[in-house]
Amino acid sequence: MTRQAIIDATLPDGSRADVVIDGERVVEVGPGVGAAVEARVEAAGGLLLPAYIDTHIHLDKVLIRDQLVEHDGTLRGAIEAIHAAKRAYTVDDVRRRAAEVIRCSVLTGTTRLRSHVDVDTVGGLVPIEGVLAAARDCAGIAEVRTIAFPQEGILRDPGTAELMVAAMEAGADVVGGMPHWEQGEDDQREHVRWCFELARRFDADVDMHVDETDDGSVRTLAMVVDETERTGWQGRVTVGHVCALSAADDDYAARVIAGCAGAGIVVVSNPVTNLVLQGRGDHGLVRRGTTRVRELLAAGVGVAFGQDCVQDGFYPFGRGDLLEVALVSAHAAQLTTGAELRQALAAVTTVPATAWRLGDSYGVSAGARADLQLYAAAGWPEVLRLQDPPRAVWFRGRTVARTTVQRELLG
Ligand SMILES: [Zn+2]
């Protein structure tokens, strides 16, 4: 692959520079360093970001909304509404739908996706086989990792434990979980313990759905913090949704947030889905299911934002566009100052990179893998406000997407 240069870009830190790519990697960043390179893209001061990482999406479920019966809009309603569709999945059907959303994601600047994939006795291993096939189909434009996700519980869905092992053997990268879905605290604790044991057996990271409920008395986040410390899995654990924390008492919240910070746990908030899903039984003041983002950030916990759902039983919208996710999430979490807007950017870039343990291979810096995206606007607040897609997207140093926006005001 030839060398190429992006000329006069605004970098995430606000400085202006050229960026030289050689093969898969960024090799030089600095004013004028691209002058001698023949293949050039003129950035004209546009913002150059590392490509987004969507670290919480459900690719097996995407684009099935039209097949489902209408339900009451709750998490339980959505899970049950999906059963019939899940029973009828074929590997090819999952593969085709997942690939479509991966391609949409790339067009809007995401080149890494980590998908939870249902593993249970309803769909068996069909969803994981379909998503793994889509990941292979799309390996030239994006890197997709998978999480074996026991959507129906483990203890309450006998047979799932064996399927979870089989999913890890089939190539799933990360062990998922959904402890709050079990009946009673003993079963929840056993669910957490069992998932960490599986993670240790496969030397895998852990990424669980945690307390996706309005019930502020549910405590599985504390169980995950305890188990992370007991097993020495610090820095290898992500928790998603964590809605109940917003309804929990302040003393518990402060304690468990400090526990997350101490154990290096990354929290993924998914406001786009949870804003429509949670608080369905409330009147007047409606709980909106967004976790305590500002308190987590203040305590030094890494907070990521994920798309979670695209046109499925849980959420009728979504297009794999993390710029949209960042904007909705900034509204939900009340992120408005300059520093807070930078945290909204980190939530779709550097924080998920931490959860993936990418280290120096992520970013707009020499040595990083050249997964990049270039915007027309010069700064992140304007990119976030205007919501125009990136002009160009690079994956492993190759340009994999380009978008031209043309608007004409007539009259
Ligand atoms: Zn989810």
Q: Find the CATH number of the domain harbouring 228.
A: 3.20.20.140
Is residue 407 in some structural domain?
A: no
Whether 36 and 181 share a structural domain: no
Is 411 inside a domain boundary?
no
Taking residues 89-103, what's their average pLDDT?
98
- How far, in Å, is the centroid of ligand 1 from the Cα of 239? 10
Measured in Å, residue 410 CA sits from the centre of ligand 1 at 43
Determine the distance separating the centroid of ligand 1 and the alpha carbon of 409, expressed in angstroms.
41
Q: Are residues 366 and 356 in the same domain?
A: no
For 287-302, what is each residue's pLDDT tens digit? 889 999 999 999 999 9
Inside any domain, residue 172: yes
Tell how far the Cα of 309 is from the centroid of ligand 1, in angstroms: 7
**Cα 61 to middle of ligand 1, angstroms:** 11
The label of the residue with tokens 């769909």 reads 123
> Residue 354 carries which DSSP code?
H
| Mean pLDDT on 42-64 | 98
Domain boundaries, position 277: 52-360
Ligand 1 midpoint to CA 381 (Å): 27
Averaged pLDDT score across all residues of the chain: 97
* pLDDT value, residue 94: 98
Contact 343, 12 (CB under 8 A): no
Residue 390 CA to ligand 1 center (angstroms) comes to 26
Residue predicted with more confidence, 2 or 233: 233
Say yes or no to pLDDT of 71 above 60.
yes
Using the mean position of ligand 1's atoms as its centre, give its distance from the Cα of residue 241 in Å. Answer: 7
Residues 137 and 248 in one domain: yes
Cα–ligand 1 centroid distance for 5 (angstroms): 38
Strand order in the sheet with 3-10: 25-30, 16-22, 3-10, 39-42
Per-residue model confidence (pLDDT) at position 2: 82
Same domain, yes or no, for 311 and 329? yes
Per DSSP, helices labelled H in 263-379 are: 271-277, 293-298, 322-332, 338-346, 350-355
CA–CA dist 267, 243 (Å, integer)? 11
What's the average model confidence in pLDDT over 119-131? 98
The rounded Å distance from CA 20 to ligand 1 centre is: 37
Residues around ligand 1, an ion, CB closer than 5 A: 308
In a domain, 409, yes or no: no
Residue 1: the pLDDT is 57
Closest CA to 211 of 230, 235, 185: 185
First to last CA, the chain: 47
**pLDDT (tens digit, 9 = 90+) per residue, 377-402?**
999 999 999 999 999 999 999 999 99
Using the mean position of ligand 1's atoms as its centre, give its distance from the Cα of residue 209 in Å.
6
Ligand 1 centroid, distance to 272 Cα (angstroms): 11
Beta bridge partners of 312: none
Question: Is 408 domain-assigned?
Answer: no
Tell me how far the alpha carbon of residue 189 lies from the centroid of ligand 1, in angstroms: 20
Q: Average pLDDT of 176-186?
A: 97
The pLDDT value recorded for residue 102 is: 98
Task: Please indicate, yes or no, whether residues 337 and 282 belong to a single structural domain of this protein.
Answer: yes
Rounded distance, CA 17 to CA 367, Å? Answer: 16
Pair 151, 267 in one domain: yes
Count of structural domains, the chain? 2
Residues 356-370 have a mean pLDDT of 98
Mean pLDDT of 274-286: 90
Q: How confident is the model at residue 95 (pLDDT cuts 50, 70, 90)?
A: very high
- Judgement on whether residues 120 and 201 belong to the same structural domain of the protein: yes
Q: For residue 56, report the distance from its CA to the centre of ligand 1, in Å.
A: 6
% the chain with pLDDT above 70? 100
Q: Please state the length of the chain.
A: 411
Q: How far apart are the CA of 329 and the centre of ligand 1, in A?
A: 15
Extract the runs of DSSP E, i.e. beta strands, from 211-336.
237-241, 266-269, 303-305
Ligand 1 center to 286 CA (angstroms) = 21
Instruction: Determine contact, residues 80/364, Cβ cutoff 8 Å.
Output: no
- pLDDT attached to residue 320: 97
Q: Which of 51 and 73 is assigned the larger pLDDT?
A: 51
Q: What is the CATH number of the domain that holds 24?
A: 2.30.40.10
Q: How far is the CA of 338 from the centre of ligand 1 (A)?
A: 29
- Give tens-digit pLDDT for 319-359: 999 999 999 999 999 999 999 999 999 999 999 999 999 99
Q: Is residue 219 located within the same domain as residue 276?
A: yes
Ligand 1 centroid from CA 190, angstroms? 21
Supply 27's token pair: 């090799």
Q: Reduced to 3 states, what is the DSSP secondary structure of residue 115?
A: strand
Are 229 and 266 contained in the same domain? yes
Is 135 a member of any domain?
yes
Distance 97 CA to ligand 1 centre (A): 17
- 308 C-alpha to center of ligand 1: Å? 5
Whether 232 is in a domain gets the answer: yes
If you measure from the C-alpha of residue 168 to the centroid of ligand 1, how many angstroms do you get, rounded to a whole number? 19
* CA 81 to centroid of ligand 1, rounded, Å: 16
Task: Please indicate, yes or no, whether residues 34 and 135 belong to a single structural domain of this protein.
Answer: no
- Please report, rounded to a whole number, the percentage of residues in the chain having pLDDT higher than 90: 94
Strands 143-149 and 110-118: parallel
